[in-house]
Structure 1
């Protein structure tokens, strides 16, 4: 019977672990080894850029740009102010905007080909740009103001995307004062932009817009591409206002048309981007994208994207997911069939003569391209499903790092920011679902993670909310305090150093004394640790008392009593942080609290604490107290008696001495 109960318990435990939405470890702000920049007057942080070449983190905020040391961002190195003129502010307020909006929010920071920086701000709803230099450790604006319309939004907080290629700026932003017209354009000597047609952009919600460049580095003359990710209302749906995620593509060498599509993109195509999770029919709305480019074969490059099922962060049913897309699969969709709009307004598969060359190339049939931007096929994720699905706070940002483990294999570590200011650290190994191994609280007060960037030079992750910037060492393994914990976490960054007897980063380390078991978390590789003596706990019959058990991880715990699994009952209540006992005499014995983790169907246990419980009833306690009181009283009486005797003897001795004299 005992074996049947054990098997039943393990089945339930396995199901609970599979359904658990908790990360393996939670680290709060006060326990995180991070560096923080926050000062008075520094608010509405609106842009972030890493300059590895001169070791600075460049931060744009309201009316100012500051630089921070990449090694330690708590050290500010310089500052440049860019305020709005009184006349521009007055005009902005007259147009109905409030005083705060009518400031200059620095929304764009880009490195130009000559090493200078392009800086663009909203400038009281009159977008403007300037160049900025970094000389002798200080930044300074040149003061040569240029029109920034279309490069950044008019509004301070509206979503947009931009990318700099040499001296050419690409952007997807609203181009009017009301913020209702989204334009995807190339600025510079040969400007291009999207056609103002419903089939190109249909009321884009701009929940997210991301712009990514793919350099093919191929020898067959293929053109480099730009990919735009956004959300919009689906023109092809028969129901109105169905939001979908899109991926659009253009060629960098696109020159535009001469008459048809003059100064417009001729290579613009778009397709639906699917990430199936949540309720059937619920839209998956893209929030951010990161490209992990394969340097050997561009077709093996992978886009990692975060989605939400419900953009309303107050919804209790909101879910988020991470989906990954291979570039070769995306290219296949863009090489497929098109949708066409009928006179009735419905959209159907185009069955006419296929134009040559295929639309999407630099040279094509322009009229067809103008009227057929939408592909029939949808881009689906690798394996057809998400890498990771979570309920709760929305995912907002993502970056991906590639780590080489001790066996020479490369693994991806996902860093995901949320709208509550937490950082999720997730991994996915072949044949397994993605899992969050750690979450870190980045900010003291809940606020969305607006920026997330990883420096290849320092190996540090830089993030920001609305009024502070944080720096996190992603290779920090010190929170794994034992060999068992270090190995079973299967953190690609970390291995157990047997010489220094600590969990350390494997980045740049050789096999030597380091051990790592990322495939199955085999803790048998660890040296055998000696168990500590159990703590003695005196409990009273019928009185509810707590035996504490506080593991460092969020793993479920189980209790053993005298070698058997302790199941909840009338006298035993199992909590996340301990065991409440209302004991009887039969509850005396050894209690063991241990964490349980299942890795590839293997159950791993680790003892957290042990108690040797001794139980006595109230009458015994009273009798013991009464005996102790009587004993103490007798002892006190004896002390008083002997004190009096000594006093009398001393007095008699003094009397004798006086008589002799």
Structure 2
């Protein structure tokens, strides 16, 4: 009756070991072992926005009812604070509308720097969104008190997703524009305001707005305008079952001024396409969570969007899956210059096969159009604008580079992403991805040519598991800044001290790090030369390492036949381990149970010998082994042990008798005297 639970236990054990091996990073570092800096003080909670100001060396943090500035070099040093509380009248009105006390506060959701150095600050203000301007002068924050309506710039609800981007002094935002949070609008604010059309074919119950909008500069190629891109998820209007969620990428032109008669003060260039990242279960779609644009300064067409996705399935916990996909801007542009989908009277969506108006609907103004007399979107013919209004959805699907994800992870939900371009010792460029998770870990990943993406290491940012809400990277300080509900943290992205040996340093294949032969430590390669450091990103070749004479002495273990004993093996890295018995690989057997953290051995008399636990890393077919721990196991048979113990007992008894006789003899002699 007890056998099934035991079998189930071992099945779950094997399953968990398999999942861990499938997605293990090179190294996991817990909160206590990371050299990170954190800001956390009494009363600091509900961190709701974060912005880097490299020009003044400050990290600006928005929270509930206040804005803080922290030193970029050391965020433990608070430099200034400005309070922005909710008035009693606004709070009372909010509560009368059914919101609780906490929601009826002012959550600072938007922080943006303008051309003159002032900052635009917007808060939810008890479900009455309000904005103001803020300055940082002589080390002090101060609000100007020039309040303006914030509707559409930030959501009413302090916990609702939205996105915003500041371009010069022009604000773009994608946020709900009503109290209930049901009216999503993508709009441009300022002298020439525009917004999306309120049609389900434009936005159909969007459930997630990615937390990044990206401006892609085309360096005026052909005189064409710059674009703004928006990533989001929504219910697919083109599917028969309208509750199927899909990921989208939308594109607008920056110089769009709306139409003269049709689409007045509305986007004339709003087009959207399905965004694909193929992974997960069959039939489930990938839902985009965040996007980051890595600009190519030499050729805009080679700029790349990196986006995180989670699988749209009901599986959670150890079976949940996430991925990172990358998209080249030139491939995205091809989709938006392609054919459209159209809605039939029956409600179905098919490819539009009729004649398309000129110019191509949704096109940005370029030199060719200017030569035709179309100087701005106000000059576009009504026929083109009506087509855009009724056909915002493209037929083509935006697919990732190489048609597959850069990275797939099981048992983890990805959230934010930022990407850094790193120059290795040989002068090559590598893209390092920093990915936040829903449990408060930071994944540091890279993809080398001809290989799948790999996680170099994962860092626990917060002691208490909570989602990573923000990720921003400073190229000036080489620091990564992150935050969650009640804490802000700072991580040195070039910290290589966690790799404690040359083997570990090279096997990690971390583009930031190399082995310093002079100082005998793993260190940043920035500004260093090949002569003083070694790095092996392609092969992880530890034969390049200097030969070390230091070897740990094996531990001597005495075991008894038939009695189980656990031999621990805890490598510093997360690499898989294997065991050797003498010179042979030790395979799982009735007497040997191999686990990720050690070996359970129930020995027989023939199991005496040397047991070696090794980490195993395979790089391009080459297997690298490194000894973690060695044991000299001496096994004694139970019967032999009993016979030995009997002999010892008899010997001790005989010695005791002799001792008693000697004592008695001595006493007799003393009595006679």
Q: Same fold, TM exceeding 0.5?
A: yes
Q: Deviations over 1:557-592 (max 9, x none)?
A: 111112111222222222222222222221111111
User: Is 1:577 the equivalent of 2:597?
Assistant: yes
What is the match of residue 570 of structure 2?
550
After TM superposition, list the pairs within 5 Å mapping 1:578-593 onto structure 2: 578-593=598-613
What is the match of residue 8 of structure 1?
none
Q: CA deviation at 1:219?
A: 4.7
After TM superposition, list the pairs within 5 Å mapping 1:297-376 onto structure 2: 297-310=299-312, 314=316, 317-360=319-362, 361-362=364-365, 363=377, 364=380, 365-376=384-395
Q: Deviations over 1:32-72 (max 9, x none)?
A: 11111111211111100011111111111111111111111
Q: Deviations over 1:397-436 (max 9, x none)?
A: 1011111001100001111101111111111011111111
Q: CA deviation at 1:135?
A: 1.2
Name the SS of the counterpart of 2:132 in structure 1: strand
Asked if structure 2 preserves the Cα contact closer than 8 Å seen for 1:310 and 1:318, the reply is no
Asked if structure 1 preserves the Cα contact closer than 8 Å seen for 2:19 and 2:410, the reply is no
What is the match of residue 164 of structure 2?
162
Asked if structure 2 preserves the Cα contact closer than 8 Å seen for 1:557 and 1:596, the reply is yes
CA distance in 2, matches of 1:248, 1:47: 24
User: Quick one: structure 1 residues 559 and 176, their matched pair in 2 at CA, closer, same or farther if it must change by over 3 Å?
Assistant: same
CA distance in 2, matches of 1:178, 1:209: 20
User: Quick one: structure 1 residues 475 and 627, their matched pair in 2 at CA, closer, same or farther if it must change by over 3 Å?
Assistant: farther
Q: CA deviation at 1:206?
A: 2.2
Name the SS of the counterpart of 2:23 in structure 1: coil
Asked if structure 1 preserves the Cα contact closer than 8 Å seen for 2:163 and 2:209, the reply is no
Q: CA deviation at 1:193?
A: 0.7
CA distance in 2, matches of 1:568, 1:232: 49
Q: CA deviation at 1:528?
A: 2.2
What is the match of residue 656 of structure 1?
none
Asked if structure 1 preserves the Cα contact closer than 8 Å seen for 2:208 and 2:289, the reply is no
Q: Deviations over 1:455-496 (max 9, x none)?
A: 111111111111111111111111111111111111111111
User: Quick one: structure 1 residues 127 and 464, their matched pair in 2 at CA, closer, same or farther if it must change by over 3 Å?
Assistant: same
Aligned residues: 633
Which range is displaced more, 74-83 or 324-333? 74-83
CA distance in 2, matches of 1:627, 1:138: 86
What is the match of residue 27 of structure 2?
25
**Alignment partner for residue 78 of structure 1, among 73, 80, 84?**
80
User: Quick one: structure 1 residues 164 and 389, their matched pair in 2 at CA, closer, same or farther if it must change by over 3 Å?
Assistant: same
User: Quick one: structure 1 residues 637 and 411, their matched pair in 2 at CA, closer, same or farther if it must change by over 3 Å?
Assistant: farther
User: Is 1:211 the equivalent of 2:213?
Assistant: yes
What is the match of residue 489 of structure 2?
470
Asked if structure 1 preserves the Cα contact closer than 8 Å seen for 2:317 and 2:412, the reply is no
After TM superposition, list the pairs within 5 Å mapping 1:186-225 onto structure 2: 186-206=188-208, 208=210, 210-225=212-227
User: Is 1:256 the equivalent of 2:258?
Assistant: yes
Which range is displaced more, 165-174 or 197-206? 197-206
Q: CA deviation at 1:296?
A: 0.4
Asked if structure 2 preserves the Cα contact closer than 8 Å seen for 1:172 and 1:184, the reply is yes
What is the match of residue 548 of structure 2?
529
What is the match of residue 403 of structure 1?
422
CA distance in 1, matches of 2:315, 2:132: 36
Name the SS of the counterpart of 1:152 in structure 2: coil
Asked if structure 1 preserves the Cα contact closer than 8 Å seen for 2:430 and 2:511, the reply is yes
Asked if structure 1 preserves the Cα contact closer than 8 Å seen for 2:608 and 2:634, the reply is yes
Q: Which runs of 5+ in 2 are unaligned?
A: 1-16, 366-376
What is the match of residue 95 of structure 1?
97
CA distance in 1, matches of 2:644, 2:128: 84
Asked if structure 2 preserves the Cα contact closer than 8 Å seen for 1:210 and 1:230, the reply is no
CA distance in 2, matches of 1:253, 1:327: 19
User: Quick one: structure 1 residues 19 and 356, their matched pair in 2 at CA, closer, same or farther if it must change by over 3 Å?
Assistant: farther
Asked if structure 1 preserves the Cα contact closer than 8 Å seen for 2:163 and 2:213, the reply is yes
CA distance in 1, matches of 2:150, 2:52: 22
Q: CA deviation at 1:545?
A: 1.6
CA distance in 2, matches of 1:311, 1:49: 33
Q: Deviations over 1:367-390 (max 9, x none)?
A: 222111111111110001111111
Considering only aligned residues, what root-mean-square deviation do their CA atoms show, in Å?
2.5
TM-score computed with the length of structure 1 as normaliser: 0.91
User: Is 1:502 the equivalent of 2:504?
Assistant: no
Q: Deviations over 1:160-209 (max 9, x none)?
A: 00000111111000000010011111111111111111111111112535
CA distance in 1, matches of 2:653, 2:500: 47
TM-score computed with the length of structure 2 as normaliser: 0.90
